[in-house]
Amino acid sequence: MHPLDRSEGHAPRPQVVTVLAARRYYLDGASKSEIAQELGVSRFKVARLLEAARRDGIVRIEIGVPSDIDIELSSELAARYGLRNTLVVRLIDGPDEFKREQLGRTCADLLTQTLDADDVLGISWGRTLHSMVGHLSRLPGCTVVQLVGSVPTLELDVNSMELVRRVAECAGGPVYPLPVPMLVDSPEMAAALRRDPHVHKTIEMFDRITKAVVGIGSWTASGSTVRAALPEELAARVDAAGAVADVCSTLLDAAGRELEGTDLPGRFIAISAQQLRAIPDVVAIAGGAAKAPAILAAIRSGLIHRLITDEDAARLLLAA
């Protein structure tokens, strides 16, 4: 009788079957049903074999994380604050503009990989978002909507209209601009501008947005373009009211509460906090140790679901 005859008690080793199942599933892309038919076992047996392959070290899965992403810090930060996920970027040291470029590239990668043609993408404003645009090549043909009016800045090539135009060029789909200032002199003037047919058409799109990318302003003289646009007396009053951050013109205190007691909200032409909160997927991008309090306020507000930041800000957020 042959030495390997089963009648002598030498049945094929279970590990061999496990290896066969694992190879077919992980390397050949066969389905569990196909493997079950080939091996003459049930689909549930195949599932147990694959589970054993990973448990026993027959299959070792290695995830090729980009070298500039701290995956452990990212996971820890997301778990700490209940975010869907975060991406913590290991920045190469250099000028602020160079650091923004690195964050922007990560955001561009995220958009490229997660957008679908049937999405309605909302874009706010921010220098890091402008850095992102330079790393976009081609996006699915989704609709792009401007979330805030034009923000005053000395950098002529950095404005919300130009940002939305460049994102829309990469997508090739419909675009809804907001060709008005973000902040005007009175609630009455803001109401009149919102009634303009072109402006009203864009505002109507706010309730249809499925994804949004927003910046986070730190409510300081150098950290917020919104604050820099205010008369000093009014800025001082908002400071005294406890402003810490601004997200799409929504002012937040340290606890993430919307700031009350000023007439500023009525003077903004931008998506409201209520409309922003209704968007299914909001990605915020902001970095730097100085912005950590503003980022924390934005997280606490519940306005954002995902965060792209850097190590300095992430470690301060975890220590908060």
Residues 268 and 293 placed together within one structural domain of the fold: yes
User: Does a structural domain hold residue 13?
Assistant: yes
Residue 20 pLDDT > 80: yes
Residues 88 and 15 placed together within one structural domain of the fold: no
Residues 75 and 13 placed together within one structural domain of the fold: no
Residue 151 pLDDT > 90: no
Residues 170 and 305 placed together within one structural domain of the fold: yes
CA–CA distances in Å: residue 285 to residues 38, 178, 262, 298: 49, 21, 27, 11
The pLDDT score that the predictor gives to residue 70 is 92
Nearest 5°: CA angle at 84, between 94 and 151?
55
How many C-beta atoms lie closer than 10 Å to residue 196's C-beta?
14
Residue 156 pLDDT > 50: no
Residue 6 pLDDT > 70: no
Quick check: 224 and 246 in contact, CB under 8 A?
yes
Residues 208 and 99 placed together within one structural domain of the fold: yes
Domain that includes residue 133, residue range: 71-319
User: Does a structural domain hold residue 61?
Assistant: no
The pLDDT score that the predictor gives to residue 283 is 96
Q: Which two tokens stand for residue 69?
A: 């992403």
Between 89 and 155, residue with greater pLDDT: 89
User: Does a structural domain hold residue 159?
Assistant: yes
Asked which of 41-50, 126-135, 157-166, 291-300 is least confident by mean pLDDT, the reply is 157-166
User: Does a structural domain hold residue 66?
Assistant: no
Residues 14 and 102 placed together within one structural domain of the fold: no
Residues 42 and 91 placed together within one structural domain of the fold: no
Q: Which residue has the tokens 């209209």?
A: 161
Residues 284 and 144 placed together within one structural domain of the fold: yes
Reference 237, options 266, 263, 258; nearest CA is 263
User: Does a structural domain hold residue 309?
Assistant: yes
Residues 49 and 88 placed together within one structural domain of the fold: no
Reference 211, options 127, 299, 111; nearest CA is 111
User: Does a structural domain hold residue 1?
Assistant: no
DSSP state for residue 278 in the 8-state scheme: T
User: Does a structural domain hold residue 243?
Assistant: yes
- Strands (DSSP E) contained in the chain are 85-89, 120-123, 143-146, 175-176, 211-215, 217-218, 245-247, 250-252, 281-285, 306-310
Residues 101 and 30 placed together within one structural domain of the fold: no
CA–CA distances in Å: residue 9 to residues 4, 13, 60, 213: 8, 11, 31, 64
Query: Could you tell me the CATH number of the domain that includes residue 41?
Result: 1.10.10
Between 282 and 18, residue with greater pLDDT: 282
Residues 137 and 273 placed together within one structural domain of the fold: yes
Q: Which residues contact 56 (CB under 8 A, 6 or more apart)?
A: 15, 18
The pLDDT score that the predictor gives to residue 158 is 59
Between 35 and 94, residue with greater pLDDT: 35
Average pLDDT, the chain: 88
Residues 17 and 158 placed together within one structural domain of the fold: no
Rg over CA atoms, the chain: 26
Strands 245-247 and 217-218, by their bridges, are antiparallel
Between 158 and 22, residue with greater pLDDT: 22
Q: How many structural domains is the chain composed of?
A: 2
Strands 211-215 and 120-123, by their bridges, are parallel
Residue 86 β-bridge partners: 307
Query: Could you tell me the CATH number of the domain that includes residue 132?
Result: 3.40.50.1360
User: Does a structural domain hold residue 64?
Assistant: no
The gap from C-alpha 253 to its chain's centroid, in whole angstroms, comes to 22
Reference 273, options 302, 298, 250, 244; nearest CA is 250
CA–CA distances in Å: residue 280 to residues 144, 147, 154, 301: 16, 15, 34, 15
Distance CA 74, CA 72 (A): 5
The pLDDT score that the predictor gives to residue 134 is 85
Distance CA 88, CA 75 (A): 9
